[in-house]
Every structure is written in structure tokens, then in C-alpha cells.
Chains A and B, each alone.
Chain A
Amino acid sequence: MADRIRLYTAEGIVLRRQPVGEADALVTLLSPTHGRFTAVARGVRKPASRTRGHVEPLTHGRYLFARGRTFDVLTQAETLRTFPRLERSLLRQAAALYTADLAAGLAAEQEPAPELFGLLVSVLAALDAGAGLLAVRYFELRATAEAGYAMHLGSCVRCGSALPPEPAFFAPSAGGLLCSGCRSDGVPGTMVEVRVIKLLRYGLAQPLERFLALRVDEATAEQAARALRAWVCHLLEREPVSARYLDEICALEARTRPAEAVYHS
């Protein structure tokens, strides 16, 4: 009988924690080496639990697991990094939870995901440092690309012809932009302005720091947000659970703060 390694360690970010039983929790993590996976953390809801604080959602830690029949069992935990300032901003916390939700939806189970993990850590760090919703747009763009579904923005996705510098039709079901000749009635999608296309292309090509340095006007940011939401919903075949909450918080913030403060640092 093959010898089976019973214990293993994995670095990861806690994406979700769901209570089960009297005092246990199911913890879903994104790990660079193990992708998305769920383990059970026993007794973690008891006040005296030593693991409790290490398995809060959005905690980056190193964990020891014992292989189990249905779920592996989390046996030890060490926090590597937390994002404490997220707890002081309703908007940035909602944005961070949305990115975690999206990562959980896009990551394949038990498939190594070093790029998606690195992207999530950088975006959470940026939000913790005060970045606005542009960081979320970057995550939507790059996380879908890392999952193998990069938006096709360079030319018409159907015929390959170059797109003139004018508004184009973005069709999520086609995978990107359609030229006026290829756009047929009934294809779901939305018209996007040239400056939105440029913003999305820039996000696909540039590192996070440069993308966050952009100053984007409210109309462009809103249109990019709508296109990316449609893209994400098409790929996941549902709306992310946390999307509605993020939208509500955005609406609440928009009533009391200038749009500039919502999108930028």
C-alpha cells in the first residue's frame, strides 16, 4: 500500500469562513501551491481557540493540515500578514471581500495558482494602503486573464480586423470587442467609449502601481465597471454573491463623498 503523507503545510489567504456544527468552521483558502481548497477548522469558534484569529477572512497565513476523508483538517496556523486598515473603511473592506469572492469563483480547486494568489495579495495590500475602486477593476481584468479568459481588446474578436478609434461593442459572450460589421442584433453587450477601451488595455498590460496612478473620470470608471461586471458574470455564469453588497456600499459612499475619493486613493 502506498505510503500517504498525512500532514502538509500550505501558505494561503482565507477567502471564506463558514460555521459548521457547534464550534467548527469550514475555511476556504487560496494557496499558490494548492489553488482553492476547503478545510475544516475544529473548535475555531470557541473563545479559547488559538487558531481563531488566524482564520479570519482576508488573513494571509501559513497553515498545517492533516488529510481527512471529506475535508482536510486545519491543525496549526501562523499569520504572515493581515490587512488591518481594511476594517476602518467600509468601502475598501467591501472591495476586498468582493476580490476574495471573485478569486474563489475563478480559482480551480486543488490547482496551483501562484499568479492569482500574487495578484490577490497585491490588490489587498493596495486596498489596505488606501487604494480606491480602481484596484478592484484591475483585479477583475487580471484575475479573469489569469484564469484563462483575457478580454480580447486589440481587434475585433470575430473577424480580427483592426478597430477604428471610436466606440466599440463589448460582447462578453464573444470574449471581447466586436467591429460594427460583426455586431449582430440580439448579441448581448454594451457600447464602450474609446477611453474605456484604452483603460482596459492599459490594465491588461501594466503593473498594478501604474494602473493605480491613473486619474480616471467618473463616467469612464462607471462604464469600465459595468463592462467588467458583465464580463465576470458571464464567466462565472452568475453574479458574485458579494457584488450587491459592494454596489450598496458604493451608493452609500457616493452620497457622502466625491466620486474621486471612491475610485482613487
Chain B
Amino acid sequence: MSFPAQDPVGRLIEQLRRLPGIGPRSAQRIAFHLLRAPQPEAEALAEAIVEVKRRVRLCGVCFHITEGERCRFCLDESRDQGLVCVVEQPLDVFAIERTGYRGVYHVLHGVLNPLEGVGPEQLRLAELVERVRRGGIREVIMATNPSLEGEATAMYVRRLLEPFGVQVTRLARGLPAGADLDYLDDATLTRALEGRQAL
């Protein structure tokens, strides 16, 4: 069943369909869930969406999400400001934080993806170069995903930062916890063997 686009329910379904991973059926289900939900619950959701768009912006230094000019990591003087972890997306910051990392971040908001037409100019790469050029950074950790695109981005950043003499490191690649060797692909196993360590 389809709803006219000018109908309030139709408009809601149409807006929900634009969200990642939401198809037409899911959009309908969520719309009808909201219709049945108590008024305060639906209003709280609408207000949260409006507020996040009004108040949240990107940090002027690392481009992580923040409510002020600078994010809490960049403002925290107890963190090592000379150690920069470069990640693809803001969500990756939260993943790295779970490890107890005490440096700061730089969020690229994507990775180089030549096959999808994503080039260097669409990422926050120029800002990273400028940050390193200003000085005070001794190591840049490339924490992009261990995919073809992530590796390309890491290599590209290494080339960009070569003239500044800063150390560029890459997250280790190897076996995931609980993995079954028999099912691993050759590339992962090769990297795991290359990166083996003495017990």
C-alpha cells in the first residue's frame, strides 16, 4: 500500500526511507510505530533530531563531532596532543576510546575510494597536512579500516606527510579474536605471519 506524498504519513515514510539501511517496508513499520507511540515519545524523538542538527557541529581541529568550537579530546590537556590517531568516521573514535588510548584524533569523514569517485579533495586531508605543518605532532597513527580503500588512504597520507618528517604508523593487521584459521583468507594470514611476535 502506498501513501500520497502530501499525506502526513506519506511524508514521514518518505523521510524515513532516506535513512541508511531503511527500505520501504521498514519505513512503513517505523512510521506506524510512531503513530501508535504516546505523544511525548514521538515529540522527544523529533526534538532530539532537531537539537542534534542545531547544536552538533564538527570540531575545528580534528573534525570529530562536538557542541563547541573544539571537541573534548582536543581540549583535554591531559591527553598526548603530539599523538594523532586518524580514523575514517566519528564512530571509529568511540571504538578507539574503548582501548584506553590517550592521544587525540583526526576524522577524515571517509576513505579514498577510486571506484566510487571519492578522491583526496573530498576528505579532511588538507586539514591534516596543515595540522602537521603547524608542528607539535610527533606521530600519526593511521587507523583506517584494513580494506583496500583503508590501505590506499593510509599510503596516501604517508606520502603527503613525508616532507614533514613526522612518524606515520599503521594499526597492526592479523587474526581477529576467536577466528578459525581454516576459514581465513590468504591476505589476512600473510599479514598475520608477517606481523608475528616473540612469545
Question: What's the nearest-Cβ distance from chain A to residue B152, in Å?
Answer: 6
A248→B159 CA distance, assembly (Å):
13
**Is B184 positioned at the interface, with any CB of A under 8 Å from its CB?**
yes
Interface residue count on the A side (C-beta < 8 Å): 37
**Is B176 positioned at the interface, with any CB of A under 8 Å from its CB?**
yes
**Is A48 positioned at the interface, with any CB of B under 8 Å from its CB?**
yes
Q: Closest residue to A19 on the B side, CB-wise? A: B20
- Contact across chains for A241 and B115 when beta carbons are under 8 A apart: yes
Contact with B along A17-29 (1 / 0, CB 8 A): 0100110000000
Contacts of B168-199 to chain A: CB distance below 8 A: 176, 178, 180, 183-188, 190
Contact with A along B77-119 (1 / 0, CB 8 A): 0000000000000000000000000000000000010111101
- Contact across chains for A97 and B115 when beta carbons are under 8 A apart: yes
Contacts of A244 in B (CB 8 A): 117, 119
**Chain B interface mostly helix, strand, loop or mixed?**
helix
- Contact across chains for B185 and A245 when beta carbons are under 8 A apart: no
Contacts of A54 in B (CB 8 A): 185
Contacts of A83-103 to chain B: CB distance below 8 A: 84, 87-90, 93-94, 97-98, 100-101
Contacts of B114 in A (CB 8 A): 94, 97-98, 101, 241-242, 245-246
Question: What's the nearest-Cβ distance from chain B to residue A241, in Å?
Answer: 5
**Chain A interface mostly helix, strand, loop or mixed?**
helix
A98→B115 CA distance, assembly (Å):
8
**Is B37 positioned at the interface, with any CB of A under 8 Å from its CB?**
no
Interface residue count on the B side (C-beta < 8 Å): 26
- A56/B187 contact (C-beta < 8 A), A90-B152, A90-B155 known: yes
Known: A57-B115, A93-B148, A94-B152. 9 other contacts (CB 8 A): A48-B178, A59-B187, A84-B190, A87-B151, A88-B155, A90-B159, A241-B115, A242-B115, A252-B159
Q: Closest residue to A96 on the B side, CB-wise? A: B148
- A47/B176 contact (C-beta < 8 A), A53-B185, A101-B115, A248-B120 known: yes
Contacts of A242 in B (CB 8 A): 114-115, 117
**Is A142 positioned at the interface, with any CB of B under 8 Å from its CB?**
no
- Total A-B pairs in contact (CB under 8 Å)? 76
Q: Closest residue to B185 on the A side, CB-wise? A: A53
Question: What's the nearest-Cβ distance from chain B to residue A144, in Å?
Answer: 19
A249→B120 CA distance, assembly (Å):
10
Contacts of A240-265 to chain B: CB distance below 8 A: 241-242, 244-246, 248-249, 252, 256
A182→B117 CA distance, assembly (Å):
38
**Is B3 positioned at the interface, with any CB of A under 8 Å from its CB?**
no
A59→B116 CA distance, assembly (Å):
18
Contacts of A155 in B (CB 8 A): none
Question: What's the nearest-Cβ distance from chain A to residue B75, in Å?
Answer: 32
